[in-house]
A = this chain, B = another copy of it.
Amino acid sequence: MKRNVRVVIWGFGAMGSGMAKMLLKKKGVDIVGVCARGQKIGKSMYELLEMERGDRPEVIINPDIEKILTETNPDVCLCATDSFTKEAFPKLKVVLENKVNVISTAEEMAYPYAQDPEVASELDKIAKENGVSILGTGINPGLMMDLLVLCLTGCMEDVEHIEAKRVNSLSPFGPFVMKEQGVGTTVEEFENGVKDGTLSGHVGFAESAAMIADGLGWKIEKFEQQVKPIVTTIDRKSPFGFAKAGDVAGVSMTAQGWVDGDVKIDLIHPQQIEPEMEGTETGDYITIKGNPAIHMANKPEVDGGIGTIAMCVNMIPHIINADAGLKTMIDLPVPRAIMGDFRDFIKIESNCLKE
Contacts and interface: CB of A to CB of B under 8 A. Distances in A.
Contacts of A297: 296-298
Given A216-B337, A338-B216, A155 B307 contact: yes
B151 A337 contact: no
Given A296-B297, A334-B334, A302 B155 contact: yes
Copies held by the complex = 2
A295 B151 CA distance: 17
Interface stretch (A71-79, A176-184, A234-242, A339-347): A339-347
A333 interface: yes
Contact of A310 (B154, B298, B307, B339): B154
A22 B157 contact: yes
Contacts of A131: none
Nearest to A284: B296
A292 interface: yes
A147 B339 CA distance: 16
A306 B157 CA distance: 7
A115 B217 CA distance: 36
A246 interface: no
A206 interface: no
A150 B22 CA distance: 18
A67 interface: no
Contact of A292 (B143, B307, B313, B339): B307
A252 interface: no
A106 interface: no
Interface in A108-128: none
Interface string A305-336: 01101110111000000000000011111111
Interface of A: 22, 25, 139, 143-144, 147-148, 150-159, 215-219, 290-292, 294-300, 302-303, 306-307, 309-311, 313-315, 329-341, 344-345
